[in-house]
Amino acid sequence: MSNGTDIKVFYLFAFEDLRFKGLYFALFLIIYLVTVIGNVVIIVLTKMDHYLQAPMYFLLRNLSFLDICLTSTTLPQMLGNLLIEHLAISLPACIVQQYAFLSLAASESSLLATMAYDRYVAICNPLRYSVIMSKELCLRMVAGACVVGSIYGAILTVNTFRLPFCGSSVLNHYFCDIPPLLKISCIDTLPNEATLFAVGSFLMLGCFVLIFGSYVKILFSVLIIPKGSGKMKGLSTCVSHLIVVILFYGSGSFMYFRPQSNVRADKECFFSLFYTNITPLLNPLIYSLRNKDIQGAFQKYFKKYLIHRHF
């Protein structure tokens, strides 16, 4: 048995069945590469194409950047875990990883809320859109999302690593997340779970109110306009945004807003995988497949690349 001052290293043990570790490694490597490449393409296209300079694409570019950072905090660790059984991670590295992950996840949550507000202004106040969603406001929104994420990450990371850890230093997970760390603590973690629920609920409630309020107003605005109006075209982007919101908030809520002892480690890993890696993978696909402007920009630059290479 050891206490919190003795444990200097944690050992990650995410996969009990390693007979297919080669297949797992290939699958998660593909997921990581596709996530990074897909989001980089979104960033490059929205930066280069002059038709994609609207505030919506500025926010989307920042969402893609957060997706790359978010998945990069966990997936490389998982790939290493598949190559090295019981991969070791030092206590300082574990603290940094958890803080980075929580900060990025909270920043993305806040950014999704600002994107809902952007869609509300675009559909309900189209004539004032460029005035309301100015470059300065967009920069403040992104900066505010990052500040909120940093505070959220700091509170929960300090709250977690104030606990004494005893018994095994093995984490049944693929990165230093809160649930597996709570399970190896030697004291009652109910106060920590209450803090996690309170802080998370405050963030989630604020984002939910902004998203829900924005889409209620969008719905009422759409219902009173005639079919074929230009406002109807904006609904396609709204549907894409709602899909991303449901995937992100749904899986994230399951991970953190329930008693930490009620779910087996393998199911915990599955939902954490969806929340941390599958959603960043799907985001560029969802937005690009439902956005004709991004499709047009991609086709234009792809044709230019083929012509340049041919000659």
Query: What pLDDT digit, counting tens, does each position of 229-284 carry?
Result: 555 555 666 777 777 777 777 766 666 665 555 555 555 666 677 778 888 888 88
**pTM of the prediction?**
0.86
138/157 Cα distance (integer angstroms): 28
Question: 185 - beta bridge partners?
Answer: 165
Question: 225 - beta bridge partners?
Answer: none
Question: Would you mind telling me the total number of residues written for the chain in this entry?
Answer: 311
pLDDT of residue 5: 45
Number of H helices, E strands in the chain: 13, 3
Angle subtended at Cα 126 by Cα 121 and Cα 127, rounded to the nearest 5 degrees: 125
Residue among 236, 238, 251 nearest 281 (CA): 251
Return the domain boundaries, the chain: 9-310
To 10 degrees, the CA torsion angle through 247, 253, 258, 261? 60
Residues (pLDDT < 70) of the chain are 1-6, 16-18, 86, 167, 225-237, 251-271, 289-290, 305-311
15/174 Cα distance (integer angstroms): 8
Residue among 136, 91, 72, 119 nearest 215 (CA): 119
Domain 9-310 of CATH type 3.40.190.290: no
Q: Which residues contact 119 (CB under 8 A, 6 or more apart)?
A: 56, 214, 215, 218, 234, 237, 238, 241
pLDDT of residue 72: 93
Task: Classify residue 19 by its DSSP letter.
Answer: T
Question: Tokens representing 284?
Answer: 């560029």
Residue among 251, 235, 240 nearest 283 (CA): 240
Q: What is the DSSP string of 248-299?
A: HHHHHHHHHSS-TTSS-HHHHHHHHHIIIIIHHHHHHHHHHHT-HHHHHHHH
Radius of gyration of the chain (CA): 21
pLDDT of residue 236: 65
Q: What is the DSSP string of 42-95?
A: HHHHHHH-GGG-SHHHHHHHHHHHHHHHHHHTTHHHHHHHHHSTTEEEEHHHHH
Query: What pLDDT digit, counting tens, does each position of 82-105 carry?
Result: 887 767 888 899 999 999 999 999
pLDDT of residue 136: 93
Task: Classify residue 126 by its DSSP letter.
Answer: G
